[in-house]
Chains A and B, each alone.
Chain A
Amino acid sequence: MSVINDTKAILVGMWTTWKHIFGPSVTVQYPEEKRIPSPRYRARIVLTRDPDGGERCVACYLCSAACPVDCISMQSAEQENGRRYALWFRINFSRCIFCGLCAEACPTMAIQMTPDYEICNRDIMNLLYEKEDLLIDGCGKAPDYNFYHHAGIGVTQPRGAGDEERPPVDVRSLLP
Chain B
Amino acid sequence: MTIDLIDIALVAGKIGLIFLVILGLAAYLVLAERKLLAYIQERLGPNRAGPWGMLQPLADGIKLITKEDVKPAGADKWLFYLAPAMAAIPAIMIFAVIPFGPPITLFGREVGQQVVDINVGLLFFIAFSSIAVYGVALGGWASNSKYALLGSIRGLAQLISYEITMGLSLVPVVMLARSFQLSEIVAAQQSCWFIVYQPLAFIIFLISIFAECKRIPFDLPEAEGELVAGFHTEYSGLRFGLFFVGEYINVIVLGGLAATFFLGGWHGPLLPPVVWFLIKVLAFAFLFIWVRGTLPRLRYDQLMHFGWKVLTPLALVNILATGWFIVLKG
Contacts and interface: CB of A to CB of B under 8 A. Distances in A.
Q: Do A and B bind each other?
A: yes
Interface of A: 10, 13-14, 16-18, 20-27, 29
B42 A20 contact: yes
B40 A26 contact: no
Contacts, number: 36
A22 B152 CA distance: 37
A25 B295 contact: no
B153 to A, nearest CB: 27
B42 A25 contact: yes
A27 B39 CA distance: 10
Contacts of A25: 38-39, 42-44
B294 A13 contact: yes
Interface residues of B, number: 14
Interface of B: 36, 38-44, 47, 290-291, 293-295
Given A13-B294, A14-B290, A14-B294, A21 B44 contact: no
A158 B38 CA distance: 67
11 contacts: A10-B295, A13-B294, A14-B294, A21-B36, A23-B42, A24-B42, A26-B42, A26-B43, A27-B42, A27-B43, A29-B44
Given A10-B295, A13-B295, A20-B39, A27 B44 contact: yes
B291 A14 contact: yes
Contacts of A23: 39, 42
What's the dominant secondary structure at chain B's contact region?
helix
A18 B41 contact: no
A20 B290 contact: no
Contacts of B295: 10, 13
A29 B42 CA distance: 13
B40 A20 contact: yes
Contacts of A27: 42-44
A44 B41 CA distance: 32
Nearest to A13: B294
A147 B42 CA distance: 49
B286 to A, nearest CB: 10
B39 A21 contact: yes
A18 B290 contact: yes
Nearest to A16: B294
B41 to A, nearest CB: 7
A17 B44 contact: no
Given A25-B38, A25-B43, 19 more contacts: A13-B294, A13-B295, A14-B290, A14-B291, A17-B40, A17-B290, A17-B294, A18-B290, A20-B40, A20-B41, A21-B39, A22-B39, A23-B39, A23-B42, A24-B42, A25-B42, A25-B44, A26-B43, A27-B42
A16 B290 CA distance: 11
A21 B39 CA distance: 5
Name, among B38, B40, B290, B291, the residue most crowded by chain A CB atoms within 10 Å (CB to CB): B40
Contacts of B44: 25, 27, 29
Nearest to B291: A14
A22 B42 CA distance: 9
Nearest to B203: A7
A23 B44 CA distance: 11
A1 B238 CA distance: 48
A27 B43 CA distance: 6
A18 B295 CA distance: 13
Contacts of B36: 21
Contact of B40 (A10, A21, A24, A29): A21
Contacts of B40: 17, 20-21
Contacts of B41: 20
Nearest to A9: B295
A26 B41 CA distance: 9
A83 B170 CA distance: 92
Contacts of A16: 294
B207 to A, nearest CB: 11
Name, among A10, A16, A18, A25, the residue most crowded by chain B CB atoms within 10 Å (CB to CB): A25
A41 B40 CA distance: 31
B200 to A, nearest CB: 13
A25 B43 CA distance: 5
Contacts of A29: 44, 47
B125 to A, nearest CB: 27
A112 to B, nearest CB: 35
A47 B242 CA distance: 57
Nearest to B287: A14
Nearest to A22: B39
A172 to B, nearest CB: 79
